[in-house]
Amino acid sequence: MKLFAVQDELVWLAVFSVFVSAILTNLMWIRSIGIAGISGLSIVYIKLGSGSLPGTILTVITTLLLAIAVFLAIYADLSYPSKNIQGDEKQHEI
């Protein structure tokens, strides 16, 4: 982003948003909270306006990749139930 004359504050906001989103997605029980990181990227997108087309494109691509990553984490949770839940069910059967 620095190569395309994007302000340092916006670059750090974008990095912070992706970092927070990754932490929320991996540490929280409700994975969809990771989508909150997109709000920071939307602020970057609004602040860029039409000033930097490559910066805007990079922000949009980053937002899409972030959303896909969160949805894949949610899908992984739905596809592969926790081993603890299966273990609890087996204990109740005995």
Cα separation, 46 vs 44, in Å, equals: 6
pLDDT per residue over 13-47, tens digit each? Answer: 888 888 888 888 888 777 778 788 888 888 888 88
Cα separation, 63 vs 23, in Å, equals: 16
Cα separation, 43 vs 60, in Å, equals: 11
How far lies 36's CA from each of 21, 40, 54, 58, 59, in Å? Answer: 6, 8, 24, 19, 15
The mean pLDDT value of the chain amounts to: 77
Cα separation, 48 vs 70, in Å, equals: 24
pLDDT per residue over 51-60, tens digit each? Answer: 778 888 888 8
What pTM did the predictor assign? 0.69
